[in-house]
Structure 1
Amino acid sequence: MNAGARRGKSVGLITRIISNEPINGTIKVPQAGSILHRYMICSALSGQDPEFICTNDSKDIRVTRNCLGVLGLGETSISDENFVYRLECGESDTTYKFMLPIAGAFGKTCIYALRGNLVFTSMDQFYRVLRTHGIKRDEIRPDLVKVTGQLTAGTYIFPGVSDGQALSGLLMALPLLKEKSAVMVEKKPQSEMYVDMTISMMRRAGISIEVLKDQNGLARVYRIPGGQRYDMKEVPAIEGDWELAAYWLTGAAVSNGTVTCTDLNTASLQGDRRILRILELFGAKTEEKKHERADAWEEGEPVFWSDITVKGGNLKGTNIDASDIPDLLAHVVLLASAAEGVSIIKNPVSIGMDADRVRALTSVMTELGAQITEVPDGLLIDGSGGKQLFGGRVGTHHDYRLAMMGTLAAGMCRKGVILEQADAVERTYPQFFEELERLKQNR
């Protein structure tokens, strides 16, 4: 079965023609979705409505906000087991994996309604872990999952490589239980920086959690006292989204453009800030200008964010291990396709990027003219060396990553790109095409 069939029907009908002009200019990306999810949940568990000016109106953020409203989180009473909550998760695996243990901590029976690619996301490891602690799953049909039971305290064990989002959801839920718990992980969690982000937000809300590390400095055990109460006292300064900024910075690098993304935190716990190092490995010119946020303070100290500029041209092939950067794999493939020489991408398949998505991604670039070969445990890409690819039609399978990658690939294609299911970007970046047109008009 091919990747498109594996992912089910594409619900988007919008097709866009993307021209091949380079992108130039300055852009302020929306607030980091990864931080917003965690802040909204910790605020709701504090019995508060999140108080902040939100510049991220993505579908993923909206479904998390709606699920919190449906559950009425912050109410400490255990709900009537006969009442069933319907949680519309859309295509957001973050929402699904966060809500699942948290609703279980309140003993709430829920039906999770899933859409698009989320229907095919594997949750088997997480459900096996939860099943040993009181949670039961009943799949009504692939896109509707009924979950019952009361999450119980105790020792949780994640065998093998754990899913960072699932681990984050569990960590946020366990302080709500009466007794203490511990979570043990056998190997480094996938996207561990985002687990650290979760813990940071929990501590900001007054939650105590102890992290025990091994001799190599890797987290192995998380200890969480029970009977805790969330208390989010202040609104954090919510920095720009590195995942979204990464598309513009990469787009500038492959199209010989110059783009500046503002209000980014180079010390961020967002794992996708590593795009800056990746761009440098490929030889892209980068520049950082720090500035103080006059309206933002953290524990009495001023907040410094950065404006990041990338200038395109003269990219060189390199070798990248993609095992811990699933959300940046599309960027790496794009950069490698434009670079001079051969690049080897090791471990492209991971918990956060399954084999079907990797095949869909490489198929898109191959159809545009990129030279990509599958090798054991990796991809070998013979870059164009600055020469334009032919271009053509891109089927996104309603994956926002493929949609944005295909769009920005147009800048390195002679004929541009015809993008199918272009509305896939609304899941994470509704303003994407509006910003694209503005950046393409700057010469």
Structure 2
Amino acid sequence: MTGLLIVLVYVAIFIISALILGVLAGKALRATGFNSLKTVTFGDESAVTPNRAASVVSVVTLFFLWGAFTGSSLIPSFLHAPGPFIGDTSFTYTASDGAGNSDDATVFARVHIVGETVDDPVAEGADDGFAKNDVIKVGAWRSQLIRVDRNDELGRDENVAITAINGQPIAPGARVRVDDGEVGMTPKGTLNFIPAKGLQMEPIWLPSPEAVFARFLDVATQGYQNATLWEHLGYSLFRVVVGFLFGALIGIPLGYAMGLSGWFRGWFDPIVEFMRPVPPLALIPLVIIWAGIGETGKIILLFLAALWIMTIAARAGVSGVNITKVHAAYSLGASKAQILRHVIIPNSLPEIFTGARVAMGVCWGTVVAAELVAAEVGAGMMIMVASRFQLTDIVIMGIILIGVIGFSIDILFRVAEKFLVPWKGRS
């Protein structure tokens, strides 16, 4: 339910922001007269650039939702999603015996933050019958069984059963809503108090942004699992870069050969098309058998993750070269080597850069699985070890760092592409 609400809020903010930015952009164009100079037709991808305002709003929205649904102190409290109930509450149950006699008792509950030490609540009021008032403590987002047999004078052995909560009938397997939560009954007739959870996420599932940042500072200074944070990230980056480079060194020439020679394409096309849809994770057992569990096996796995992507990108780049450029070069007396150097390679570079960006992303996604194979250091190893101990803040921190590094590498590829391939998008 909480996840669906987060998605709906995100979609609503997206639509509202798009409408507002669209209106503002329209006014700016009308004011400057740029609309009359518009020559780009709908669908011209080379003319579409990211709207920086939309990017800023998108990132701010994500952090806002993260903070709002985790009770972050970075977000004003009035913008927080409803949190779990914390405090004292009570409800009354009715116990009946087989002879038609019944008695009421009150359960006083104190709901507290998990991990905090609190005193038991105080039971108030008289309980002269066979049903006795009881007290319980329960952590927020948790539930607590109430074994009335241990407290009441009469229990199941005397055919006494609970029949109502706050005057509302209840049966095994049913639930009754009460103030600040609900009370359920197990199939054996035991009560279970469940405090209201609200819409905020429990920290064990999703910690707040400041909690993740605090963990980042702790791991950055103290390290984790006998290695510093920078050693974890450095080893992962080294494995990704080496695996990607080997994949590119073999994949690009293979792709060129497949794009230029029917024999090469016929020979290697079945292999490439067969391996392309196979996820790199499925190759882990085979890589372990062939290369063991050391660094070689991890790099081979990343090499295979990049190889087929780079091969297909280079092949597509060669196949997509405008044939009129080749004919023009031939008409000017160019040799095959000159056509390859001055026509095919320059015009295929945009596809290769696109493939390199995709391959690098896949390698980053695969490195986590690669480091599951007996790695002693690495971002993936750090994430997986933390997940076993339910240290969600470390898991999220690792995911964010991997994403930031991957995004930074992608930006470097974009800058390099803009510098090395300035003719991209031109005929």
Q: Check whether TM > 0.5.
A: no
Which TM-score tier does this pair reach, normalised by the shorter chain? under 0.3
More helix by share: 2
TM-score normalised according to structure 1 size: 0.20
TM-score normalised according to structure 2 size: 0.20
Greater Cα radius of gyration, structure 1 or 2: 2
